[in-house]
Amino acid sequence: MGPDSLRARDLMTTEVVTVPPSTPATSLARLLADRGISAAPVTDVEGRLLGIVTEADLLRRLAGAEDKPAGWLRRLFRDPDRQAEQYARTHGKEAQDVMTEDVVSVDLDATAVQFAGDQLFDLAFYNHLETRDGSVVHLGDNLTGQGEGDDEQLTLDLSRVYAKVDTIVLLVSSYQGHSLEWVANAYCRLVGEDDVELARYTLTAGPAQTGVVMATLVRTGDGWTLRAVGEGIAARVPTDAVDALRAFL
């Protein structure tokens, strides 16, 4: 990857696939597997939100472990889709029986942090939309994840990065302090200028921390090298995470 401009889109997207409360759990399990999604909102005939059914909801009931995080269950079962469908078939439940009613919206924020050596140079996030060198621009905060397409976007033009900046850390964090372990149907991706996806990290049943370092961009000679990370850190506000991010330089 050379010094050409790179567009990085960090996003949380909810695919709007809703189901009525009477939907059989077998159909739910298959819907999640076939669509490649991990959650489906449950709505009434007037479109009002009643709850949400996630892959984790089905798995917790299958394992009989309401207090276990989804990450534990995913490690327990090698094929969660098949296990969820088996449970649904044998128990005959409906969406209203397995859904989570107290739906909490988790606001995930995308940040790019520039370092010169181990010193913070600048950053772009919801409260500071552009770096001083103009190479990184945050296109605005999305608090709900509603709407189609990429919800929060960062654009990077590597040809404009200040000469002394040698590392850019790409971070996603929860401003409200929610653990990413319980986030459903969210992911981040990096997309090149030709719209080719360079990296993707799924946040569903993610790390127990409040933030995740998705990747780093490291200056190598005349170009840049993208390094996938996908490691959780304790981060809510990006400016408070600088010390933790130095471990990834």
Q: Give a yes or no: residue 231 inside a domain.
A: yes
185 and 77 share a domain?
Answer: no
- Quick one: average pLDDT of 146-164? 79
Whether residues 81 and 202 fall in one domain: no
- The structure tokens listed for 76 are 């327990």
**Pick from 17, 26, 2, 135: nearest CA to 84:** 26
Query: Whole-prediction pTM value?
Result: 0.59
Q: What is the pLDDT of residue 217?
A: 94
Tell me, yes or no, whether 49 and 72 share the same domain. Answer: yes
Asked, for residue 109, whether it belongs to a domain, the answer is yes
Q: What is the model's pLDDT at position 108?
A: 80
**Of 33, 63, 98, which residue is a domain's last?**
98
If asked whether residues 138 and 223 sit together in one domain, one would say yes
| Mean pLDDT estimate for the chain | 75
pLDDT higher at 219 or 60: 219
Reported confidence tier of residue 122, pLDDT bands at 50, 70, 90: very high
Condensed to tens digits (0 to 9), the pLDDT of residues 67-81 reads 444 444 344 444 555
From the list 6, 170, 161, 185, the residue with the least C-alpha distance to 103 is 185
Q: Which long-range contacts (CB under 8 A, 24 or more apart) does 67-75 make?
A: 69/181, 69/182, 69/205, 69/208, 70/181, 70/182, 70/204, 70/205, 71/181, 71/205, 71/206, 71/207, 71/208, 74/205
Single residue among 80, 98, 116 that ends a domain in this structure: 98
Q: How far apart are CA 6 and CA 219, in angstroms?
A: 13
Residue 72 belongs to some domain of the structure: yes
Q: Are 94 and 110 in a shared domain?
A: no
Domain co-membership, 233 together with 151? yes
Q: What is the CATH number of the domain that holds 221?
A: 2.60.60.30
Per the model's pLDDT, the better-predicted residue between 66 and 118 turns out to be 118
Last residue in a domain, options 74, 98, 122: 98
pLDDT at 185 over 80: no
| Same domain assignment for residues 33 and 122 | no
Cα(239)–Cα(229) distance, rounded to whole angstroms?
Answer: 20
What pLDDT sits at residue 243?
A: 93
What is the structure's pLDDT at 149? 47
Is residue 1 a part of any domain in this protein?
A: no
Q: Is residue 74 part of a domain?
A: yes
pLDDT reported for residue 68: 45
Q: Can you say whether the dihedral through the CA atoms of 181, 11, 156, 124 is positive or negative? A: negative
Same-domain pairing of 225 and 150: yes
Would the pLDDT of 141 be above 70?
no
Full residue range of the structural domain in which residue 64 is found: 25-98
Higher pLDDT, residue 21 or 107? 21
222 and 195 inside one domain:
yes
Q: Predicted confidence band at 184 (pLDDT cuts at 50, 70, 90)?
A: low
Please tell me the total count of domains within the chain.
2
pLDDT at 47 over 60: yes
pLDDT-above-90 percentage for the chain: 24
- Shared domain for 63 and 143, answered yes or no, is no
pLDDT band at 192 (very low <50, low <70, confident <90, very high): confident
**What percent of the chain stands above pLDDT 70?**
67
Question: Does residue 200 lie in a domain region?
Answer: yes
